[in-house]
Structure formats: structure tokens, C-alpha cells
Amino acid sequence: MTRVLFLCTGNSCRSQMAEGWAKHLLAGGMEAWSAGVAPCRVDPRAVIVMAEAGIDISGFRSKHLESLRDIEFDYVVTLCESAKESCPYFPARIKVLHKAFDDPPSLARSAKFEEEALRHYRRVRDEIRDFVESLPQALNTNERSR
């Protein structure tokens, strides 16, 4: 089974959503984890919008990349520019992919009310879902082009 790590800076929002989607959409074909290079708490708004989509990430915890060092990943997917730039060295057998998504907490800072803030989270949630749904095909294509 393919093992994928979704890596973001804080492991609080985007990588948590990606892990949730992967576990929901790709169960049986892919094992998914998420971690951060500077983890913090899971974003409550990410939990809310994922629950709206039928995915419960309320039990997820933010993890530092180092806490997963014993897992042999096939792929690492960085989801933000900061994680891409601070991504540590991985052995050559681990393929590192990058797919940046907007940062919902940053976008929500200018929101005047909660519903406006949640719109940013929903949009990014849906973009991440589309990406995760297409991930197996993208990984296969990537393998064939090597």
C-alpha cells in the first residue's frame, strides 16, 4: 500500500484536511498521515468545514515531522510554500511533490464575520478534496514519466 505524508508548516489546517480526505476517499489504496515542520493545534474552523463534508477530523492531533520518522513513506506532499522551503532531506526513494494551497487562517483574518471566514476554509477544503481524489492518478503518471 502506498504511504503518503502531507506536510505543511503548522499541521493545523491544510495537511489535516488532506489527511482526512485521503483516509476517506482513498482508504484501502493509500495510507495517509500529516505532519508539520512547526506544529500547532488543529484549527477549529478546519474541523467545522470538514464535518460539513462528512469527515470527522476532531480527533486528529498536530504532529511534528520528527514524530513520524519510523514510518517509511513513499511520497511526501508539501502543501504550502513554507513547508516546501523548509522540507528536510528525505532519502531518494521517497518522492517529494509540491502542491500549494491558500492558507485559510491568513485569508480569514480580514473576514468581518464568521461565515465569511468559513468560506475561505470551504474553498480550500474543496480544492484539497479535488487534489486528493486525483492523487493516485497523478502519482502513477509521475512514476511513468521517470
Q: What CATH number does residue 83 fall under?
A: 3.40.50.2300
Residue range(s) defining the domain that contains residue 93:
2-132
Distance, CA of 46 to CA of 57 (rounded, Å) = 8
Q: What is the pTM of this model?
A: 0.91
SS (H, E, C) 40-98: CCCCHHHHHHHHHCCCCCCCCCCCEHHHHCCCCCCEEEECCHHHHHHCCCCCCCCEEEE
Among this protein's residues, is 40 annotated catalytic?
Answer: no
Residue 142 lies in a domain: no
Of 4, 5, 7, 8, the catalytic one is: 8
Q: What is the count of structural domains for the chain?
A: 1
Residue 59 lies in a domain: yes
Of 18, 46, 80, 128, the catalytic one is: 80
Among this protein's residues, is 80 annotated catalytic?
Answer: yes
Residue 21 lies in a domain: yes
Residue 138 lies in a domain: no
Residue 105, C-alpha cell as written in the block:
487562517
Q: What is the pLDDT along the chain (146 residues), one digit of tens a residue?
A: 899 999 998 899 999 999 999 999 999 889 999 999 888 999 999 999 999 999 999 999 999 989 998 999 999 999 987 766 666 667 778 898 889 999 999 999 999 999 999 999 999 999 999 999 999 988 876 554 44
Residue 145 lies in a domain: no
Among this protein's residues, is 13 annotated catalytic?
Answer: no
3-state helix, strand, coil in the chain (%, to 5): 45, 15, 40
Give pLDDT, residue 51: 98
